[in-house]
């Protein structure tokens, strides 16, 4: 286990509080992680979608475990703050393989992981969470395990019983060893408060346009707020706009006017040499 993981685990765990929710601008490579850290981030979370796109693959368990771990390792090595790694469904077909992923994530320097259920039966993720917790225990690591419940994000089940189903999954995941629960796809304040009030572990939601602000989410009981792939999507939107302008009108000033200064970006890495 690297010093970054061992040094950052307790700090990362302590950052989960509704009094001042942990706001995570999810990074997908070393440069985005350093920029986010320089902006004042107390921790970094990766986005599996952003990592996948940067590696030329679609999101959704399509990137090999080795490539994903290499990306996590580069991000963890690039920053001094704790890193939480998005490992999608665990990069493994069995709990044993997912446990191996967790061990290797710790070796890569992560202080936390985010693992999702997707459309899988909840029992599958519960077994994987138990395996992740066991792997962390064997490594003597205080790994923060965030379990993602995709009922709202994917529109799973009956809308009339979705809240009840979500809470049932969340409780099962907490019983299996999850330290926090991530419910993306919810922005309604009443629903968010219902989730936070019913959970015994920190609630994480995904924010964006139309969602309450971070302080407002904290007042609703949210302890962790993520931007998910939105930061990567925004960066790629600038790339598309600049490219269309260049190959269309043949201009470039409007799209590139807000570009970061070369020396500023380069300086983020020169300091680590």
Low-confidence winner among 78-82, 152-156, 221-225, 248-252 (lowest mean pLDDT) = 248-252
- What pLDDT, on the 0 to 100 scale, is given for residue 3? 45
How many domains in the chain? Answer: 1
Interaxial angle between packed helices 262-270 and 30-38, expressed in degrees from 0 to 180 and rounded to the nearest 10: 100
Strands (E), 128-244: 144-148, 180-182, 203-206, 224-226
Reply yes or no on whether the pLDDT at 70 is more than 60.
Answer: yes
Reply yes or no on whether the pLDDT at 5 is more than 70.
Answer: no
Q: Residue 254 — pLDDT band, cuts 50, 70, 90?
A: confident
Mean pLDDT across the chain: 95
182/225 Cα distance (integer angstroms): 9
CB atoms within 10 A of CB 222: 27
Q: Which residues of 245-272 are buried (b: 16+ CB within 10 A; e: fewer)?
A: beeeeeeeeebeeeeeeeeeeeebeeee
Residue 247 placed within a domain: no
Q: Residue 8 — pLDDT band, cuts 50, 70, 90?
A: confident
Whether residue 67 contacts residue 28, with contact meaning beta carbons closer than 8 Å, is answered with no
Residue 67 placed within a domain: yes
| Residue of 255 and 100 predicted with greater confidence | 100
Residue 235 placed within a domain: no
149/121 Cα distance (integer angstroms): 11
- What pLDDT, on the 0 to 100 scale, is given for residue 271? 60
Whether residue 261 contacts residue 80, with contact meaning beta carbons closer than 8 Å, is answered with no
- 229 dihedral zone (left: phi>0; alpha: psi -120 to 50; beta): alpha
Reply yes or no on whether the pLDDT at 48 is more than 60.
Answer: yes
- In this prediction the pTM is 0.93
Residue 263 placed within a domain: no
- Token pair for 44: 């970094």
**CATH code, domain with 48:** 3.20.20.60
Percent of the chain's residues with pLDDT above 90: 92
- What pLDDT, on the 0 to 100 scale, is given for residue 32? 98
Range of the domain at 204: 3-228
What is the rounded average pLDDT of the residues 92-100?
Answer: 97
Low-confidence winner among 2-16, 32-46, 104-118, 227-241 (lowest mean pLDDT) = 2-16
Nearest Cα to 103, choosing from 94, 90, 116?
90
CB contact set of 138 (below 8 Å; sequence gap of 6+): 103
Reply yes or no on whether the pLDDT at 38 is more than 50.
Answer: yes
- What pLDDT, on the 0 to 100 scale, is given for residue 253? 82
Residue 253 placed within a domain: no
108's enclosing H/E stretch is helix 95-108
Residue 139 placed within a domain: yes
pLDDT, tens digit (0-9, with 9 covering 90-100), for 118-169:
999 999 999 999 999 999 999 999 999 999 999 999 999 999 999 999 999 9
Residue 267 placed within a domain: no
- What pLDDT, on the 0 to 100 scale, is given for residue 1? 42
255/67 Cα distance (integer angstroms): 32
Q: Residue 255 — pLDDT band, cuts 50, 70, 90?
A: confident
Q: Residue 272 — pLDDT band, cuts 50, 70, 90?
A: low
- Where does residue 169 rank: exposed (0-12), middle (13-18), buried (19+ CB within 10 A)? buried
> Is the CA virtual torsion 195, 185, 109, 175 positive or negative?
positive
Q: Residue 177 — pLDDT band, cuts 50, 70, 90?
A: very high
What is the rounded average pLDDT of the residues 106-113?
Answer: 97
Strands (E), the chain: 22-24, 44-45, 83-86, 112-116, 144-148, 180-182, 203-206, 224-226
Cα distances from 235 to residues 204, 209, 210, 241, in angstroms, run 24, 16, 20, 10
Token pair 């259920």 is found at: 117
pLDDT, tens digit (0-9, with 9 covering 90-100), for 19-30:
999 999 999 999
- What pLDDT, on the 0 to 100 scale, is given for residue 273? 56
CB atoms within 10 A of CB 89: 20
Residue 270 placed within a domain: no
């Amino acid at each position: 286990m690297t010093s970054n993981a061992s040094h950052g685990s307790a700090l990362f765990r302590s950052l989960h509080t509704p009094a001042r929710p942990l706001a995570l601008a999810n990074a997908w490579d070393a440069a985005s992680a350093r920029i986010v850290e320089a902006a004042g981030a107390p921790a970094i979370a990766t986005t599996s979608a952003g990592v996948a796109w940067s590696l030329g693959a679609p999101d959704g368990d399509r990137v090999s475990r080795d490539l994903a771990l290499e990306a996590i390792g580069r991000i963890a090595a690039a920053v001094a703050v704790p890193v939480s790694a998005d490992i999608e469904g665990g990069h493994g077909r069995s709990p044993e393989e997912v446990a191996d992923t967790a061990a290797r994530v710790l070796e890569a320097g992560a202080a936390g992981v985010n693992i999702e259920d997707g459309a899988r039966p909840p029992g599958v993720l519960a077994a994987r969470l138990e395996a992740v917790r066991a792997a962390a225990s064997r490594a003597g690591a205080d790994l923060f395990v965030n379990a993602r419940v995709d009922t709202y994000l994917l529109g799973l089940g009956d809308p009339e019983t979705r809240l009840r189903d979500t809470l049932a999954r969340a409780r099962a995941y907490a019983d299996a060893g999850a330290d926090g629960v991530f419910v993306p796809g919810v922005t309604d304040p009443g629903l968010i408060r219902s989730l936070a009030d019913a959970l015994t572990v920190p609630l994480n939601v995904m924010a964006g346009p139309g969602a309450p602000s971070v302080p407002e989410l904290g007042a609703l009981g949210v302890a962790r707020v993520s931007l998910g792939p939105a930061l990567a999507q925004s960066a790629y939107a600038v790339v598309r706009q600049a490219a269309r302008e260049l190959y269309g009108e043949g201009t470039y000033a409007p799209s590139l006017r807000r570009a970061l200064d070369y020396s500023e970006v380069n300086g983020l890495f020169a300091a680590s040499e």
